[in-house]
Amino acid sequence: MKSYVIQRLFSTLIVMAMVGVFVFLLLHLSPGDPAAIIAGDNATSEQIDGIRQKLGLDDPLPVQFLRWVSHVVQGDLGISIFSNEPVLKLVGQRLEPTISLALTTLLVAVVIAVTFGVIAAWKAGTLIDRLLMVISVVGFSVPVFVVGYILIYVFAIWLRWLPVQGYTPIAEGLWPWMRNLILPATALGLAYVALIARITRATMLEVLEEDYIRTAVAKGVSNRTMLLKHALRNAGVPIVTIIGIGVALLISGVVITETVFNIPGVGRLVVDAIAKRDYPIIQGVILIFSGVYVIINLIVDLTYMLLDPRIRYK
Amino acid sequence: MSDGVLDPAMPEARRSRWLTFVRRNPTLVAGCVILGFMAIIALIAPWISGDPLLMQPIERLKPPSDRFLFGTDNLGRDVFARTAYGARVSLLVGLVVAVLSVGIGLVIGLLSGYFRRVDAIVSRMLDGLMAIPAILLAIALVSLTKGGVSIVILAITIPEIPRVVRLVRGVVLTTREEPFVEAAIATGTRVPLLLIRHILPSTLPPLIVQASYICASAILIEASLSFLGAGIPPEIPTWGNMIAGSRLFLGRAPWTIFCPGLALALVVLAVNLVGDGLRDRLDPKLQKKMR
C-alpha cells in the first residue's frame, strides 16, 4: 500500500513537471516574436524591448526555463504586464468567488447525478430511465453559456426570482451569497451531472447483475440498503474516476460561467487577460488550474484504496 | 427522410429493411437527419439567406418576422443569415479537428503502443498535456498569435490528440498479444506492414466513435473560445461570436442569443447522437447486451 502511494506521488510529480515544460514552451513555440505579440499591434519598439526585458526573453531557452522553474517553485508566478502586480496576488484576490462556484457545483452535481444514475439503473428500461438519459444526453450537448443565458432569461429577467449576474461575498451573509450562485452553479453543473449520471447508470447496471445483489435481495434486504450499501459502494471506482476526470470540464466551465454571470473570479481574470494580452496571467492561471486538476486526480486515485481494498494489495 | 421511408412506390423488401434499420438505430438515424439538415443549410447559405455582414441601423433589434426569420441584432444584421453562415464555421472546425486529431493520434498511438521505448516518453508527455484544461490551452495558443480559423483549429486539435493516442495505444497493447499478430511476426511480416495491415484495423471501430465525440467537443470548444474573445475574429459570423456580441441585449432581444445558441446545441446534440449510435453498433459487447 505504501509503495502504491509513493508510486502515485512520483508519477504526479512527473506529470506536473511535464505540465511545467508545456506551459513554459507555449510562449516560445508560437510563431513570431512573443514580446511583439504581447505588446500588441500599436506598440513602439521601446515598448516591445521593455516587455522582452521584463520577461527575460533575451536569455537562452534553458536559462529562461530554469529561472522560471525556480521562481514557480518559490510561488512566484511572474508579474502582470498590465497592472504590474504579482500574478499570485491577483489570483488570490479572485479565489473566493471561483472556489464558491466550483465547490457548490461539485457538491450539488455529484449528489444529483449519482441519485439520477442509481434510479435510472434500478428502473432500467422504464420511462423514468429513458427520461433521465435523454436529459443527460441533452445536458451534455448544450453549451454552458447557452444554458446560462436561458436560466438568466427565465429566472432573472422574466420571473425576477434571482439576480441577473454578479457575486456577493459570503461575509455579507449566507443567503445573498447563495442567491447569486444558484443560476451559475446550475448552468455549470448540467454537463457534469450528465457525465456522472451516465457512468453511474452504466456501472450500476453491471453491479446489479452480480450474484451478491441477488443474494442480498433474497435475504430480504430493503431496496434502499441494497442500492446504497451493496450496489453503489461496489460501483464506486468508475464513478469516482469520472468525477475526477470531469473536474477538467468544471475548470473550463468556470472560465465561461464567470464570464456569463459576471463573477469576479479567476476565470474572469484570464478572460480579461486575453483582451489585454497579459500573458503572465494566462500562463500562471493555466499552471494553477492544471495543478488543481492533477492534485484532485491524485486524491481520486488514493480514495480508490478506501473504496476497493483489492487495489491496496496489487 | 420519413417521407422516403413511407413512399408507397418503394419496393416492400427495401422499405422494411429501412424501417428495421431505423428501429434498431434510432439515435444514429436521428443524429444523421439533424446533422444532414444543418449541413445542407450551411452549404446553401448564400442562396437562402441575405448578407450576414450587411448592417441596417434602421432595422436594429427587430423581432423575428417574415422579413427577418430570426430577427435582427443590435447592428441591424440579419440573425438568420448569420446563423446559417455560422453553421459553416462550426461544421468545418468540427470536421477538420476530428480528422486531424484522429490522424495524428493514430500514428503516435500505433508507434507508442508497439515500441516500448517510444511509449515511455510519449506517455509521460501526454499525461502532462492532458492535465492542462483544453480551453485554457487553446486560449493560451490563440492569444499568442494573431488569431484566425486555422490557428483556432490547431489550438483545439492539440489538446484532443492525447485522448486518441491513449485509445489507440490501449487497443495496440491488447492486439499485439493476439495469435494472428504472433503468426504474422513469425512469418516475417515487417513492422510497418504489421502495424498497418494487422493492428490498425482493430483500432478503427473505437476510433470512429471517438472521432464523432471529438467533433462534438471541437464544435463546443470553438464556440466557447469565440464567445470568450479568444477564437475566430469577431468580423466572421460564428455562433460563439454572435452570442458574445449580443450579450448585453438578452433582455431586449433574446432571439439574438437563443437562435445561434439553439443551433449550436442542436448540432452538438446531433453529433453526440451519431457517436452514441455508432458506439452501440460497433461495440459487439454492448450489442449483445442490447438484445
Task: Report the alpha-carbon distance of residue B126 to residue B162 in Å, rounded.
Answer: 6
Q: What is the pLDDT of residue B290?
A: 42
Instruction: Compute how many other C-beta atoms are within 10 angstroms of the C-beta atom of residue A10.
Output: 10
Whether B9 shows a pLDDT value over 70: the answer reads no
Per-residue pLDDT tens for A130-172? 888 888 888 888 999 999 999 999 998 889 898 888 888 888 8
Task: Report the alpha-carbon distance of residue A300 to residue A82 in Å, rounded.
Answer: 38
The whole model's pTM is what?
A: 0.87
The shares of helix, strand and coil residues in chain B, as percent rounded to the nearest 5, are 75, 0, 25
Check residues B286 and A235 and name the one with the higher pLDDT: A235
**Cell numbers linked to B241:** 461570436
Contact call for residues A267 and A259 (beta carbons, < 8 A)? yes
Contact call for residues A280 and A79 (beta carbons, < 8 A)? yes
Cβ contacts of B134 on chain A, cutoff 8 Å: 248, 252
Interface pTM (ipTM) of the complex?
A: 0.86
Contact call for residues A142 and B267 (beta carbons, < 8 A)? no
Per-residue pLDDT tens for B204-250? 888 999 999 999 999 999 999 999 988 888 888 999 999 998 888 88
Nearest by CB to B140, from A152, A259, A286: name it: A286
Whether A104 shows a pLDDT value over 60: the answer reads yes
Q: Tell whether B227 lies on the interface with A, counting CB pairs under 8 A.
A: yes
Positive or negative: CA dihedral A168, A174, A175, A181: positive
Per-residue pLDDT tens for B116-126? 888 888 888 88
Q: What is the pLDDT of residue A61?
A: 82
Q: Which residues of A, range 271-290, sit inside 8 Å of B by Cβ?
A: 271, 273-275, 277, 279, 282-283, 285-286, 289-290
Band (B6; pLDDT cuts 50, 70, 90) = low
Per-residue pLDDT tens for B65-119? 877 778 887 787 888 889 999 999 999 999 999 999 999 999 999 999 888 888 8
Nearest by CB to A26, from B141, B146, B224: name it: B141
CA-nearest residue to A13 within chain B is: B128
Q: Tell whether B238 lies on the interface with A, counting CB pairs under 8 A.
A: no
Q: What is the pLDDT of residue A215?
A: 87
Phi and psi at B78, nearest 5°, equal -75, 115
